[in-house]
Every structure is written in structure tokens, then in C-alpha cells.
Amino acid sequence: DAKTTQPPSMDCAEGRAANLPCNHSTISGNEYVYWYRQIHSQGPQYIIHGLKNNETNEMASLIITEDRKSSTLILPHATLRDTAVYYCIVRVAMTGGGADGLTFGKGTHLIIQP
């Protein structure tokens, strides 16, 4: 079963901020929220991840609610090249060995409109 819920599709105007929501109401205390995106017919690309604090990098910002049951990925100035499927997943950032199944849902298809 998928651990996250995302809307199947969203539109955003070019130049505007794209806000992609994700619900993860059953997240465990040691699970991180990861975001990836997949441009058509390519492998997914890592964007950002976080545990409970908000995070920002050169690609995006991640806002995690205080109860950690949901998060929002923000692309501050969307361009046409940001059109892709965005996946939100939760997993334990393991150290010292051990791997889980790294489960992906269907993601959100973000379409940037010119």
C-alpha cells in the first residue's frame, strides 16, 4: 500500500509558484519525506528531502507541517521544463546497512502552462 496520497494532476502558470501537496498521515517518527520528479521517459530525479524542518535547495522548498502528516513541495518560479510527474515518498534514511522497498505511488502530473 502506498504511504502517501497526492492529487493526480495540477496546472500552474509559467513564472508562478507551483505548490504540490502530499499527505502522509501514517508517517513514522523516523521516516523522512522525499520528493522526486520524472520527466517523460526518463529516470526519476531527486529533488529534496526533510524530516521535520522546512528545507530549501536550488531546486525547490519543502514545507512539512508540524504534525508531519502532510507536506508541500514548492517550485518558486515554475518554467515549462518543470512539467513532469512529481513523486512524494516516505522512508527511513537508514545508516549502517539495511534497505527498504522504496515504494513510489502514482505521483502528481504537474503541467506548466505558458
Partner 1 sequence: DGGITQSPKYLFRKEGQNVTLSCEQNLNHDAMYWYRQDPGQGLRLIYYSQIVNDFQKGDIAEGYSVSREKKESFPLTVTSAQKNPTAFYLCASTSQTGMNTEAFFGQGTRLTVV
Binding site for partner 1 (CB under 8 A): 34, 36, 41-46, 49, 87, 93-99, 101-107
Give the nearest distance from C-beta 86 to partner 1 in angstroms. Answer: 11
56 half-sphere exposure, CB direction, 13 A CA radius: 2
Nearer to partner 1, 7 or 15 (CB): 7
Cα–Cα distances in angstroms (integers) from residue 97 to residues 7, 9, 77, 90, 94, in the given order: 33, 36, 38, 18, 7
Give the nearest distance from C-beta 97 to partner 1 in angstroms. Answer: 5
Give the nearest distance from C-beta 16 to partner 1 in angstroms. Answer: 26
98: left (phi over 0), alpha (psi -120 to 50) or beta: left
Give the nearest distance from C-beta 26 to partner 1 in angstroms. Answer: 18
In whole angstroms, give the CA distance from residue 81 to residue 69: 29
Nearer to partner 1, 37 or 68 (CB): 37
Nearer to partner 1, 51 or 74 (CB): 51
The position carrying cell 506548466 is 112
Nearer to partner 1, 15 or 30 (CB): 30
